[in-house]
Amino acid sequence: MISILYLFFLISFVKTSDYSLIINEKSSIDKPIFNFPHSYELINNFQSNFNLTNNNTKLILTKYIDRDDWCRQNICSCDYCSFILELFSNHNQIPKFSTINITINDINDHTCQFFDIQTNILLSESIQIGHRFPITRAIDYDSGMNGELSFKLLNNEDYFQLDIIILSINEYAIYGIVKQSLDREINEKYELIIEARDHGFPQERINRTKITIELLDENDNAPKFNQNEYSIQSLPENTPIGTELLTISASDADKGLNCLIHYSIINPPSSSLFPFKINSTTGVISLHSSLDYETTRFYRFLIRASDSGLVQSLFTDTWLSISIKDINDCPVEILFLPNRRFQYNNQILFINENTEINNLTLGYIRLFDRDSIQTKLSISLIILDKESKQEYEIILSNQLNSYILIVKQGIYDREIQTEINLRFIAT
């Protein structure tokens, strides 16, 4: 018996779909959801959520799928949750890589949630009509009409109105706007009840929150940013730590301490890993930890400018959006699937010396690159043993970045050679 040692890397791949399937999120587990015409094997993705039964011809769910949770984890798109399940078949001794495109329908299983609620808001009694102030942020984790929200102010509509800003799909910033002059001597406190209602069918979901507005006698101007929103486009993921990225600037029409502005980032997601910081005095945004495009491709967060009023600080918020640019920093990887005729263990393929060689298929190769999954990759073969008695060749298979390793001609004679060492190089 002759052993062949394969030295290779590991990588990722992409393909078109041979089958398609649509199911609702949270569908029943351990029940067939798709019947294949012949047996398949699952290849290296989503194996914890799916399995094959009945001679590998029936596809089942092994875990409940929460479409909205997958959206938050960027496993699938929030507006159209579709993904590829990869399959391999050797039906009738014909090797084939296949895929099934699975689409997850949303159900209205989430009620709107409020975040960053300003439960106690302080406003100067001399605040100008039309002044806008932040109240809260609302998110519905469903999609489509199930996650589309409408808002209503249920009381004190004569003095205040709502201003709704769409931040992203099913995410909203809720602001209040002063409609008429306020007088602390007449009424020093207002309570506002805000209702959020989704457009789900057949049943709408409703949530409410309550805030309190107190009037102050001093510091009647909140800071104003010099633009409505800030953005940084295509920030390279290899940007050095400490790089200054952008300066946020705000001004305050008051004098003295009431116009002294401090900047801060409000409730950054996963703050221990959040890669940006702001200088509280200058408003300079800088990078304080490494970026990784493969982990997070987009950031959007609130910047707050607060003045230093002695009685009560006033503040204004703005949004900063940062998109990350990919750098080719992931190595190409190789996945080798051996011909089932041969034993394969620890990168060693075992072949009997009397095996007939005539375009003999030894195995199948898939190439992966997480940086550019749509890119066509190439592979080369190096025979490390100069006295090899065989001729090897890698030929293109029926899918992108898929290859077949064959022995075209030669002999295997253990008395002459006990092993042949091959090296694959993928680019």
What does the alpha-carbon distance between residue 111 and residue 97 come to, in Å, rounded to a whole number?
41
Tell me the residue type at 359.
N
Alpha-carbon distances, residue 18 vs 14, 99, 232, 408 (angstroms) = 13, 5, 40, 31
User: What gap in Å lies between CA 304 and CA 269, rounded to an integer?
Assistant: 15
Q: What is the pLDDT of residue 374?
A: 57
The pLDDT tens digits for 148-198 are: 899 999 998 899 999 999 988 788 999 999 999 988 778 889 999 999 999
The 3-state DSSP class for residue 126 equals: coil
- Answer whether residue 79 shows pLDDT above 80: no
Q: Which residues contact 308 (CB under 8 A, 6 or more apart)?
A: 257, 258, 260, 261, 262
How do residues 206-230 score in pLDDT, each as one tens digit? 999 999 999 876 677 889 999 999 9
232-256 residue pLDDT tens: 999 998 999 999 999 999 998 877 7
CA dist., res. 394 & res. 255, Å (int): 76
For residue 72, give every residue at least 6 positions away whose Cβ sits within 8 Å of its Cβ, in sequence order, or none: 141
The H helix count followed by the E strand count for the chain is 1, 33
The domains located in the chain, with CATH, are 2-106+330-426 (2.60.40.60), 111-217 (2.60.40.60), 221-329 (2.60.40.60)
Which of 41-45, 127-131, 213-217, 319-323 has the lowest average pLDDT?
Answer: 41-45
Residue-wise DSSP of 410-424: E---TTT-SEEEEEE
Instruction: Please determine, for residue 11, whether its predicted confidence score (pLDDT) is greater than 60.
Output: no
Cα separation, 228 vs 225, whole angstroms: 7
Q: Whole-angstrom Cα distance, residue 62 to residue 346?
A: 29
357 is written with which tokens?
């060689």
**CA angle (340, 344, 349) in 5-degree steps:** 100
pLDDT at 28: 80
